[in-house]
């Protein structure tokens, strides 16, 4: 049992992270039978392009719905990483878009070409959010791919659903590949 698990999706305004956060939260709650709070914070500086979506998962009702010690940080660009990295726990999981983040503050990051994969399998960088969800499902084991797909079917219309399902699967495949390549290193660490 994990009493509380905090995930932050961060990037820029056009990357669809709020939608990704909603889909992740619904999938965990509906198909995982857990409590979830999903939130967005906006400040007077919101006219800028920074975007973030927090998801808190718990086996119990969530009394304090603010993410302060992230178990997972997804950073879809350099600025998002720089702003949010200090909120990540020491042993937390950092997932970054290798296409858009160049300076890494740690050697422990999972660096995946999220935008490149979206372009490749869905012919659009806008599906990078679903590539990220697929990777996140494999790397965190907090939600299953079928649960995400069922929830996506509520949010996307037919054509978009097909493309974004391909994006989800591509992200999951690449994350599994990363795990297999890095398991030896992790085991020996």
Subset of residues 53 to 82 that bind a copy of itself, contact rule: CB under 8 A: 61-66
Subset of residues 107 to 146 that bind a copy of itself, contact rule: CB under 8 A: none
What residues contact residue 147 under an 8 Å CB cut-off, 6+ apart?
27, 28, 30, 31, 32
Is residue 142 classed exposed, middle or buried when 0-12, 13-18 and 19+ CB atoms within 10 A define those classes? buried
Give the number of residues in contact with a copy of itself, rule: CB under 8 A: 27
CA distance 174 to 117: 9
Rule CB under 8 A: is residue 98 a binding residue for a copy of itself?
Answer: no
Rule CB under 8 A: is residue 18 a binding residue for a copy of itself?
Answer: yes
CA distance 184 to 165: 30
For a copy of itself, the closer of residues 40 and 106 by Cβ is 40
Q: Which of 1, 43, 90, 103 binds a copy of itself (CB under 8 A)?
A: 43
Rule CB under 8 A: is residue 189 a binding residue for a copy of itself?
Answer: no
Rule CB under 8 A: is residue 33 a binding residue for a copy of itself?
Answer: yes
């Amino acid at each position: 049992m994990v009493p509380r698990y905090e995930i932050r999706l961060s990037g820029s305004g056009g990357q669809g992270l709020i939608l990704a956060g909603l889909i992740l939260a619904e999938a965990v709650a509906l198909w995982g039978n857990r409590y979830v709070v999903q939130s967005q914070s906006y400040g007077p500086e919101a006219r800028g392009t920074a975007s973030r979506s927090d998801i808190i998962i718990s086996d119990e009702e969530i009394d304090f719905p603010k993410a302060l010690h992230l178990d997972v940080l997804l950073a879809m660009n350099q600025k998002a990483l720089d702003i949010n990295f200090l909120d990540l726990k020491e042993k937390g999981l950092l997932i970054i878009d290798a296409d858009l983040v160049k300076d890494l503050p740690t050697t422990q990051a999972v660096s995946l070409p999220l935008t490149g994969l979206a372009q490749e399998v869905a012919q659009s960088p806008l599906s990078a959010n679903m590539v990220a969800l697929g990777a996140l499902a494999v790397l965190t084991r907090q939600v299953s791919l079928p649960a995400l797909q069922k929830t996506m079917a509520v949010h996307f219309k037919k054509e978009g659903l097909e493309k974004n399902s391909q994006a989800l699967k591509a992200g999951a495949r690449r994350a599994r590949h990363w795990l297999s390549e890095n398991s030896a290193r992790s085991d020996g660490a």
